[in-house]
Amino acid sequence: MALGAFLFVGLAPLVVFGIVGVVNEVRLASEGVITEGTLVGRREREVRYRIRVAKDEYTHADVTGRTSLWASLDDVGLAEVDARGVVSVRYLPDDPWVNRPVHAGAMPLGDPLAAACVFGSVGLGGIVLFVMGVRRVRRGRLAPGPKGF
């Protein structure tokens, strides 16, 4: 029962992060605006960039709030950086912190979708274990543990 509660409560935020990431990617695809980002750093197939929207500057960020992250580019994006020294970036006009390179190297929807599915499945398993434990305690098959457990 405790394991089930732990799995559900412990993994719920990860499921939420995965779902938010999926929603952000879908919104970027349908509502995103493209701008040129200033190249801040580069290493192999990854870049750091900064975009300016109105008077504010934004960097590549994730759903946990980390900013100024490295972003991978595909061959087209790398060629653009080599030729022009800029990164094409798609962002949400109502929340420019939600942005990514137009020519992202990794499948942008892949990571958040995988997180939502994996952690959601494990969290669902946690709910099942918790409910089974509660039912066993109610039927008297298993005495509750000591206080605090």
* Measured distance CA(83)–CA(81) in Å, rounded: 6
- Range 82-110 average pLDDT: 88
Indicate left, alpha or beta for 115 from its phi (over 0: left) and psi (-120 to 50: alpha). alpha
- Does residue 90 register a pLDDT over 70? yes
Lowest mean pLDDT among 20-24, 25-29, 42-46, 55-59: 20-24
Averaged pLDDT score across all residues of the chain:
79
What are the sequence ranges of the domains in the chain? 2-138
Regarding pTM above 0.75, the answer is: no
* Measured distance CA(49)–CA(68) in Å, rounded: 8
Q: Which residues of 110-143 are buried (b: 16+ CB within 10 A; e: fewer)?
A: eebbebbeebbeebeebeebbeebeeeeeeeeee
What is the model's pLDDT at position 57?
97
- Range 31-37 average pLDDT: 97
Residues making up the chain, counted from first to last:
149
